[in-house]
Structure 1
Amino acid sequence: MKDVQINNSVKLRRTELGNLTQSDLAKQVGVTRQTMNLIEAQKYNPTIKVCLLIANALDTSIEKLFWMEEEL
């Protein structure tokens, strides 16, 4: 299996929506603010369920929020 990096644009999308805080998004998704912070910092890869909940809360598709890149 190739090494891949999972990237996301959760913070960008959240800030595009205006005044949605990490705490607000975390509450909607059902995780802690600290977990949301780790996801946005790309230090934690959420489960597919959490990815789908985040995409739904941010009114976008999972493909626009999360993608893979091969590590060199």
Structure 2
Amino acid sequence: MVKPTRVTNSLRAVREAQQLTQADVARRVGVTRQTLIAIEQGKYSPTLELAFQLARVFGATLDELFHYPED
């Protein structure tokens, strides 16, 4: 049986390190604050386009923000 994998992220830690609010980031990428909260909590995975937009806001790579578990 295959275990479902879950993408995790470092968005909250990176956002807080850069002293940005959820509202600031959400506004910059064009989503609601509630959407950003869901992404930070791992309840929602962003589209690839949104993931790139988030990476650009933080000056980070996708690998620095999003983590896919290894087998």
With normalisation by structure 1, the TM-score equals 0.89
* Structure 2 residue runs without a partner (length 5+): none
The equivalent of 1:28 in structure 2 is 28
The equivalent of 1:16 in structure 2 is 17
Show CA shifts across 1:34-60 (max 9, x none): 000000011000000000000000111
Q: Which amino acid aligns with 2:4?
A: D
The equivalent of 2:62 in structure 1 is 62
Shift of 1:69: 1.2
Q: 1: distance between equivalents of 2:64 and 2:3?
A: 22
Q: 1: distance between equivalents of 2:61 and 2:70?
A: 22
The equivalent of 2:50 in structure 1 is 50
Q: Which amino acid aligns with 1:56?
A: R
Report how many aligned residue pairs link the two structures.
70
Percent identity among equivalent residues?
A: 37
With normalisation by structure 2, the TM-score equals 0.90
> After the TM superposition, which segments of 4 or more aligned residues of structure 1 sit over 3 Å from their partners?
none
Q: SS at the partner of 1:69?
A: coil
Q: 1: distance between equivalents of 2:48 and 2:10?
A: 15
Q: 2: distance between equivalents of 1:48 and 1:12?
A: 20
